[in-house]
Structure 1
Amino acid sequence: MPLLLLWLATASTASAHPHGWVDYTVRVLFDNQGRVSALQQRWKMDPMYSLTLMEEMKRDGGAGQQQQQLDALGSQIVKNIGKQHYLSHVYRNGKELELGQVTEYTTLLSGQRVEFMFVLPLATPQKPEGDRLSWKIYDPTYFIEFLYDNEIDQPLTMSGAPEGCTTNIAHFKPDPKLVAEAAAIDVTGQAPDGMGKRFADTGKLQCPAD
């Protein structure tokens, strides 16, 4: 699946104009000690790119081999995004935390769109005291735009959370100067470092303090 692999692995050379987008959801997972242990994510590729992938799969092997091709695609996606911090950044009091290695993932077709789902563990589970934990998911070059899925009621949820915990999304509010800066970059130009982060929404967790 060379096109999607290129799409997910060109962060070092892409321009600031998004060439595709991903609608995503996050579920905050807690362990049996009430600590945040992982972020379960679902990425839904944009319709045009999904169509391109489905056409490639038909051409390369047909419906009988489709799931095998999807499994191979998921393996390559994990390998590629693993080199880029899984395009995910988790913070405690503004300091970025180390992540573990993704070993649980699956790729499937949902209607006319390709979905990639995976569990991203934290290297060290975190006590969710107060409002100290937050995260951003983005392509640093803004080659791919990541958006919380607005087609579902709750794109940010929790599993196994202690009583009193809540989540919320701080949506990016476009600064006209930043939008103009991105628009001024030619489609073949080099994006400034960190452009994607500046357009990213922030997920936040708040739990009662001990």
Structure 2
Amino acid sequence: MRKILLTLGLLIALPQWAEAHPHIFVDASHKLIFDDQGRLTAVRVTWDYDEMFTMLMVEDGKYDTNGDGDVTGDELEAFRLWDANWPPDFGGDLVIHADGKDQALEGPTDWAAEWHDGRAVSIHTVKLETPLDVSKGIVLQNYDPYFYVDYEVTKTPTFEGRSDCKAKIVQPKPHQVSAKTAAAIANLPADQTPEQAGLPNVGQYFAQTVEITCGG
């Protein structure tokens, strides 16, 4: 999946501001999981991919064995791990911020896949390296630093293990990215990332922020 994603994103980088926009679209949702002490221990992440990327992925993996346009029944088992082969430097585009810092996360586990109305759905669990006291609140973001992928949080998170938490989705502020920076990113050669070119992490400016508070 990541190979297809990066190939698409890099090949279509053209020297116009409009071409700095993403070309893969994901509806993201999250379940926050707490232990018996009320600490955050993991996030169950669901990604609903757009129809175009779904089509490319299904054709690449030959998952639709009966050619009916859907991945269902026995096909789903082969499909379950289609999104699981992450390279070592890919952190899942998930950020959990609390106590003034980004929290350390483990690699994804518990993979599942579903098929919703012609769209591929990938599900995985990300555990925190250390259980987190959330009494001061936390911030969650799902974004691609280079903005090849646009993650849209389509619903507020659900909670497992606590009933006193609430969440608010704060919309992004894309105007913070200058036209000059956007053009520089769009003009990068296909074998160079914005990070390698010393350009800023623009994905954060297009990302929704989920503010979560528990208790009190």
Tell me, yes or no, if structure 1 residue 31 matches structure 2 residue 38.
Answer: no
Amino acid at match of 1:201: Q
Give the aligned partner of residue 128 of structure 1: 134
Matched positions, count: 196
Amino acid at match of 2:204: K
Give the aligned partner of residue 79 of structure 2: 70
Runs of 4+ with >6 A deviation:
none
Structure 2 unpaired stretches of 5+: 14-19, 68-72
Cα deviation code 1:132-174 (max 9, x no counterpart):
x11211111111111112xxxx3422222153x2111111133
Q: Which of 136, 141, 144 does residue 146 from structure 2 map onto?
A: 141
Give the aligned partner of residue 177 of structure 2: 178
* Alpha carbons of structure 1 residues 182 and 193: separation in structure 2 relative to 1, 3 Å: closer
Query: Which structure shows the bigger proportion of residues in helix conformation?
Result: 1
Aligned partners of 1:183, 1:102: CA distance in 2, in Å?
31
Aligned partners of 1:159, 1:197: CA distance in 2, in Å?
27
Task: Please give the residue correspondences for 1:128-207 in structure 2 after superposition, counting only pairs within 5 Å.
Answer: 128-131=134-137, 133-149=138-154, 154-163=155-164, 165-175=165-175, 178=177, 180-181=179-180, 183-185=182-184, 187=186, 189=188, 191=194, 192-207=199-214
Cα deviation code 1:104-123 (max 9, x no counterpart):
11122212000001111111
Q: Is the 8 A contact 1:26 1:157 kept in 2?
A: yes
Give the aligned partner of residue 3 of structure 2: 6
Aligned partners of 2:95, 2:10: CA distance in 1, in Å?
21
Q: Which of 45, 48, 59 does residue 44 from structure 1 map onto?
A: 48
Paired residue secondary structure (2:92):
helix
Aligned partners of 2:178, 2:32: CA distance in 1, in Å?
31
Aligned partners of 1:129, 1:86: CA distance in 2, in Å?
25
Counting aligned pairs with the same residue, the percent is 23
Instruction: Tell me the TM-score normalized by structure 1.
Output: 0.79
Instruction: Tell me the TM-score normalized by structure 2.
Output: 0.77
Cα deviation code 1:64-90 (max 9, x no counterpart):
8632431341332xx23x522221111
* Alpha carbons of structure 1 residues 199 and 183: separation in structure 2 relative to 1, 3 Å: same
Aligned partners of 2:32, 2:142: CA distance in 1, in Å?
14
CA RMSD of aligned residues (A): 2.9
Cα deviation code 1:1-50 (max 9, x no counterpart):
xxx33234569968543121111111111112211111111001111111
Give the aligned partner of residue 111 of structure 1: 117
Amino acid at match of 2:183: A
Paired residue secondary structure (1:67):
helix
* Alpha carbons of structure 1 residues 109 and 181: separation in structure 2 relative to 1, 3 Å: farther
Structure 1 unpaired stretches of 5+: none
